[in-house]
């Protein structure tokens, strides 16, 4: 049973990149373009991990995270932050890891594997 | 002078002929026919000589003689006697008749008799004149003696007063140094405007003016005539005080302060005037020095290339310099906040208020509007101005124009801001590019044609994004002119409306637009103009969302073209802006939206429109709404 990863990013090119990279490495992926859409996805299925962008139009990464932390159901899903902003990791204090853009593919895959296995 | 002669005779012929003869001799003759008539005529005619017949009906000549002599002993009476009246005639002489002639009258004898009388009359007149002259002379001499006595007394009085004054000034000791040094000229003048007496110093410095005219000691008074302080004192009976210039003996002019006061009045008229003149040349020199110093400070105040205003505690401007007046108009007497920042209420951030409170200098940076509508960034320094007691009476506000520095800073800051946002964008694009490369490589490895093609498209579009980004950086890096291909205005405006519509809908604002079809094509920088319009429309939405005063909000967006321009109107009924906000609206990093605004939007909109040679007109009223009127010329 492959692990499912929710990719949240407003840039379609980056969503496509992460989707391809993670699928090629044996994970199943779901995508969302902002925090609000991501919540809608969560209503349908629970992923094992979330990659989260910080700055997105409308509902940002921190907004989405606060929504997750308010309930019990999703609060434990590990989050990996992938952002272009340096020094903004603290806005998601519960994240298991944080990668800057552009990131090393190996670094991401190692972190994912460490967190949820392959 | 012809003597008057009264001829009295009862015979008509004698009266007529003798009358003619006497008139020929040069007498002014009147005649009477009897004694009673003669006496009446005597009263009115007042003759010096009376020639009368002795025998007349009624009152005879002797009786007439007696009566005339009783009334006027000096009148000479000559009697006319007939034959046989000799005793009577001689008797008349006892009653002081001057002479007598006998009838028939011998003209030569009469002439001789009259001549003797004339001589007698002339002698008597001469005697009287001598007597009168003598009396007059005695009177004059004695008057002169009195006058001299008076002048002597006045002179003594002057000297005594001078002694008193110097004694008085000596009592003041060192505290009145100047007073001790002050030479004081004292003079007394009489009604004829003559100097009657002077003190010693007057004599030494101005010369012996006693007997001269009062005005001679003054420069310019000789021409002006009777309008000096001495004359005024005589005229008004009141003491005078004026600044005059006196002429020294050596020709030097001396500034003096003159005090005059009336001395002794007779019949309501001033008899003498006391004049005290104090040499004020040293005071004048000090005053001049003070004036020069003040002028220097004034020049400095006026010429300083800063706006300087002095304000009192009631927010009134009490002084302002040239540059201040040029840029804000004459402010003296007006309210500081009205003139400087167009506010009805005092500015909450006023540094002058703080200086009034703590006496220390303070600074404030503010945006102010000049008379010609230009806005200026100014840095204001406040400094207290104290009175002799050390109390702060006014505070000076000195404002330096830092607009150019701010503009430069704006540019630098916007560059820095751009760099921040660029680096974020570049990171995203690099990541996406890496993704494209990964998918291209993995596609080739897997021989997945679809993935290869897709990755190619991604990379291509990303290259386009990088290109745009680089162009944007170039736009901010150097100010270049906006230029562009002809753009369909209907299309541009519709696009803008569609971008903004969802946001307006979310805020439940009725957003309507009036964009006629076929507005034509105008060369514009599409991206920048669109961004400018979106910025303004988004501001309108924020202004409506922030307004709690109205139940419903609406925004209208209108586009139009004329022969020479493109016009956009954006109207909202949001919270509106105060004049101060309105003036600063286009300033970089000025935001009325607190943390929600960056202060960039309207600045860039203004910049873009300006670079197209256009203008943005902004009118707004707090609580009512805001209108933006944008005009961009076709050229």
Task: Determine phi and psi for B346, rounding to 5 degrees.
Answer: -55, 145
3-state helix, strand, coil in chain B (%, to 5): 50, 25, 25
Residue B431 has its nearest CB partner, among A17, A24, A85, at A17
CB within 8 Å: B435 and A103: no
Domain boundary at B352, B372, B401, which? B401
Q: E-assigned strands of B9-133?
A: 28-32, 49-53, 76-81, 99-102
Please state the ipTM of this predicted complex: 0.84
Pair of tokens at residue B61: 């000549």
CA atoms of B28 and B1, how far apart (whole Å): 10
CA atoms of B613 and B608, how far apart (whole Å): 9
Name chain A contacts of B425, Cβ cutoff 8 Å.
84
Q: What pLDDT score was predicted for residue B170? A: 57
Structural domains in chain B (count): 5
For residue B398, give every residue at least 6 positions away whose Cβ sits within 8 Å of its Cβ, in sequence order, or none.
B304, B306, B307, B308, B380, B381, B382, B383
In a domain, residue B150? The reply is no
Say yes or no: B591 and B497 in one domain: yes
CB within 8 Å: B435 and A17: yes
CA of residue B604 relative to chain centroid, distance? 50
CATH of the domain at B247: 3.30.450.20
Domain boundary at B86, B105, B124, which? B105
Is the pLDDT confidence value at B511 over 90?
yes
What are B15-32's pLDDT values in tens digits? 888 888 888 888 999 999
Beta carbons of B62 and B89 less than 8 angstroms apart: no
Pair of tokens at residue B567: 């016009």
A36 touches chain B (CB under 8 A): no
Residue B431 has its nearest CB partner, among A55, A85, A103, at A103
Q: Which domain holds residue B25?
A: 4-105
Is the pLDDT confidence value at B421 over 70?
no
CATH of the domain at B547: 3.30.565.10
In a domain, residue B118? The reply is no
A19 touches chain B (CB under 8 A): no
For the four alpha carbons of B572, B575, B580 and B586, in that order, the dihedral sign comes to negative
Average the pLDDT over B44-50 and give the result.
92
Is the pLDDT confidence value at B283 over 50?
yes
Say yes or no: B490 and B629 in one domain: yes
Q: What pLDDT score was predicted for residue B420? A: 67
From residue A36, alpha-carbon distances to A63, A70, B42, B617 in Å are 9, 15, 149, 39
CA atoms of B214 and B412, how far apart (whole Å): 80
The owner of tokens 């001057």 is B98
Is residue B553 packed enough to be buried (19+ CB in 10 Å), middle (13-18) or exposed (0-12)? buried
Say yes or no: B209 and B332 in one domain: no
Beta carbons of B500 and B538 less than 8 angstroms apart: yes
Average the pLDDT over B122-137 and give the result.
88
Tell me the shortest Cα–Cα distance from A49 to chain B, in angstroms.
20
Tell me the shortest Cα–Cα distance from B458 to chain A, in angstroms.
7
Q: By three-state DSSP, how is residue B38 classified?
A: helix
Is the pLDDT confidence value at B593 over 50?
no
Q: What pLDDT score was predicted for residue B475? A: 55
CB within 8 Å: A17 and B434: yes
CA atoms of B536 and B629, how far apart (whole Å): 11
Beta carbons of B188 and B275 less than 8 angstroms apart: yes
Say yes or no: B504 and B611 in one domain: yes
Say yes or no: B225 and B331 in one domain: no
CATH-assigned architecture of domain A4-116: 3-Layer(aba) Sandwich (3.40)
CA atoms of B200 and B163, how far apart (whole Å): 11
CB within 8 Å: A17 and B438: yes
CATH of the domain at B418: 1.20.5
The answer, yes or no, to whether the previous bond of B251 is cis (omega within 30 of 0) is: no
Which among B102, B115, B85 is positioned nearest to B22, based on CA atoms?
B115
What are B239-269's pLDDT values in tens digits? 888 888 888 888 888 888 888 888 766 677 7
Average the pLDDT over A92-102 and give the result.
86
In a domain, residue B45? The reply is yes
Tell me the shortest Cα–Cα distance from B515 to chain A, in angstroms.
28
Is the pLDDT confidence value at A98 over 80?
yes
Domain boundary at B251, B286, B321, which? B286
Beta carbons of B198 and B302 less than 8 angstroms apart: no
Residue A101 has its nearest CB partner, among B430, B461, B462, at B430
Say yes or no: B241 and B325 in one domain: no
Say yes or no: B491 and B602 in one domain: yes
| % pLDDT > 90, chain B | 20
CB within 8 Å: B428 and A103: no
Query: Which A-chain residues 65-84 have CB contacts (< 8 A) with chain B?
Result: 82, 84
Give the full edge-to-edge strand order of the sheet including B615-621.
B510-514, B554-561, B565-572, B625-633, B615-621
Residue A13 has its nearest CB partner, among B423, B436, B442, at B436
DSSP B306-355: SEEEEE-TTSBEEEE-HHHHHHH---BTSBHHHHHH--SS--TT-HHHHH
CA atoms of B585 and A110, how far apart (whole Å): 51
Pair of tokens at residue B384: 């207290």
Q: Provide the residue ranges of all domains of chain A, joining segments of one domain with +.
A: 4-116
3-state helix, strand, coil in chain A (%, to 5): 40, 20, 40
Beta pairing, strands B375-386 & B240-247: unpaired
Name chain A contacts of B505, Cβ cutoff 8 Å.
none
Name chain B contacts of A20, Cβ cutoff 8 Å.
435, 438-439, 442, 451
CB within 8 Å: A100 and B427: yes
Say yes or no: B605 and B497 in one domain: yes
Pair of tokens at residue B10: 């009862």
What are A45-70's pLDDT values in tens digits? 899 999 998 877 767 788 888 888 88
- A with B: how many residue pairs have Cβ under 8 Å apart? 55
In a domain, residue B336? The reply is yes
Say yes or no: B616 and B506 in one domain: yes
CA atoms of B523 and B52, how far apart (whole Å): 141
In a domain, residue B153? The reply is no
The residue that leads in pLDDT, B152 or B533, is B533
pLDDT band at residue B599 using 50, 70 and 90 as cut-offs: very low
In angstroms, how far apart are the furthest CA atoms of chain A?
Answer: 36
Tell me the shortest Cα–Cα distance from A38 to chain B, in angstroms.
20
Say yes or no: B383 and B255 in one domain: no
Say yes or no: B394 and B436 in one domain: no
For residue A113, give every residue at least 6 positions away whose Cβ sits within 8 Å of its Cβ, in sequence order, or none.
none
A25 touches chain B (CB under 8 A): no
Is the pLDDT confidence value at B180 over 50?
no
In a domain, residue B162? The reply is no
CB within 8 Å: B439 and A20: yes
In a domain, residue B112? The reply is no
A22 touches chain B (CB under 8 A): no
Name chain A contacts of B438, Cβ cutoff 8 Å.
17, 20-21, 105
Beta carbons of A112 and A22 less than 8 angstroms apart: yes
CB within 8 Å: B442 and A17: no
From residue B271, alpha-carbon distances to B150, B186, B231, B263 in Å are 11, 17, 12, 6
Say yes or no: B443 and B514 in one domain: no
CA atoms of B29 and B11, how far apart (whole Å): 16
In a domain, residue B131? The reply is no
CB within 8 Å: A11 and B428: yes
CA atoms of B275 and B195, how far apart (whole Å): 10
Write down the mean pLDDT value for chain B: 83
Query: Chain B: which residues have CB within 8 Å of chain A?
Result: 423-425, 427-428, 430-436, 438-439, 442, 451, 454, 458, 461-462
């Amino acid at each position: 049973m492959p692990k499912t990863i929710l990719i949240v990013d407003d840039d379609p090119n980056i969503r496509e990149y992460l989707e391809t990279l993670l699928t090629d490495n044996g994970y199943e992926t779901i995508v969302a373009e902002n925090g609000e859409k991501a919540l809608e996805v969560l209503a349908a299925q629970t992923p094992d991990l979330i990659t989260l962008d910080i700055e997105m139009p409308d509902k940002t990464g921190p907004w989405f995270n606060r929504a997750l932390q308010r309930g019990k159901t999703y609060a434990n899903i590990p989050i990996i932050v992938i952002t272009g902003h340096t020094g903004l990791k603290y806005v998601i204090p519960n994240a298991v890891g944080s990668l800057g853009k552009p990131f090393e593919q190996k670094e991401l895959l190692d972190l994912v594997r460490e967190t949820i296995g392959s | 002078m012809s003597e008057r002669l009264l001829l009295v005779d009862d015979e008509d012929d004698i009266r007529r002929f003798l009358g003619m003869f006497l008139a020929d001799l040069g007498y002014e003759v009147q005649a009477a026919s009897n004694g009673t008539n003669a006496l009446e005529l005597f009263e009115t005619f007042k003759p010096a000589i009376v020639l009368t017949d002795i025998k007349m009906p009624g009152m005879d000549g002797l009786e007439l003689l007696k009566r005339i002599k009783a009334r006027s002993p000096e009148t000479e009476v000559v009697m006319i006697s007939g034959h046989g009246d000799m005793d009577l005639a001689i008797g008349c002489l006892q009653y002081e008749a001057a002479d007598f002639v006998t009838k028939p009258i011998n003209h030569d004898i009469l002439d001789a008799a009259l001549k003797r009388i004339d001589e007698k009359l002339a002698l008597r007149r001469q005697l009287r004149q001598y007597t009168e002259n003598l009396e007059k002379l005695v009177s004059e001499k004695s008057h002169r003696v009195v006058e001299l006595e008076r002048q002597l007394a006045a002179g003594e009085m002057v000297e005594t007063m001078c002694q008193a004054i110097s004694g008085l000034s000596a009592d003041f000791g060192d505290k009145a140094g100047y007073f001790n040094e002050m030479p004081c000229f004292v003079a007394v003048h009489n009604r004829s405007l003559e100097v009657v007496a002077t003190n010693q110093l007057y004599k030494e410095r101005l010369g012996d003016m006693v007997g001269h005219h009062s005005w001679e000691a003054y420069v310019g008074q000789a021409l002006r005539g009777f309008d000096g302080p001495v004359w005024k004192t005589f005229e008004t009976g009141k003491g005078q005080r004026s600044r005059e210039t006196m002429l020294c003996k050596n020709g030097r002019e001396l500034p003096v302060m003159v005090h005059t006061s009336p001395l002794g009045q007779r019949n309501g008229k001033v008899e003498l005037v006391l004049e005290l003149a104090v040499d004020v040349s040293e005071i004048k020199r000090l005053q001049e020095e003070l004036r020069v110093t003040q002028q220097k400070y004034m020049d400095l105040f006026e010429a300083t290339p800063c706006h300087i205003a002095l304000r009192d505690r009631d927010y009134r401007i009490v002084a302002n310099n040239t540059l201040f007046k040029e840029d804000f108009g004459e402010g003296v007497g007006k309210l500081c906040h009205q003139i400087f920042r167009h506010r009805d209420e005092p500015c909450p951030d006023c540094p002058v208020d703080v200086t009034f409170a703590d006496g220390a200098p303070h600074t404030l940076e503010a945006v102010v509007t000049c008379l010609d509508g230009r806005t200026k960034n100014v840095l204001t320094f406040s400094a207290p101005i104290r009175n002799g007691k050390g109390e702060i009476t006014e505070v000076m506000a000195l404002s330096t124009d830092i607009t150019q520095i701010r503009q430069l800073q704006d540019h630098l800051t916007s560059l820095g801001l751009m760099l921040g946002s660029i680096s974020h964008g570049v990171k995203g694009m690099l990541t996406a590019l890496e993704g494209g490369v990964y998918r291209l490589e993995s596609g080739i490895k897997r021989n997945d044609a679809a993935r290869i093609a897709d990755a190619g498209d991604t990379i291509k579009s990303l290259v386009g994004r990088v290109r745009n980004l680089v162009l944007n950086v170039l736009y901010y890096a150097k100010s270049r002119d906006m230029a562009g291909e002809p753009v369909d205005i209907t299309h541009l405006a519709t696009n803008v409306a569609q971008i903004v519509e969802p946001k307006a809908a979310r805020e439940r604002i009725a957003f309507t637009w009036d964009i006629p079809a076929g507005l034509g094509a105008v060369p514009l920088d599409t991206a920048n103009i669109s961004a400018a319009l979106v910025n303004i429309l988004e501001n309108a939405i924020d202004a409506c969302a922030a307004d709690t005063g109205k139940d419903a909000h609406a925004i209208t967006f209108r586009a139009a073209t004329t022969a020479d321009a493109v016009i956009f109107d954006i109207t909202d009924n949001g919270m509106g802006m105060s004049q101060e906000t309105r003036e600063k609206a286009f300033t970089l990093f000025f935001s009325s939206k607190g943390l929600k605004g960056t202060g960039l939007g309207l600045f860039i909109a203004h910049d873009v429109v300006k670079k197209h040679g256009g203008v943005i007109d902004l009118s707004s009223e707090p609580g009512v709404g805001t209108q933006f009127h944008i005009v961009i010329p076709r050229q």
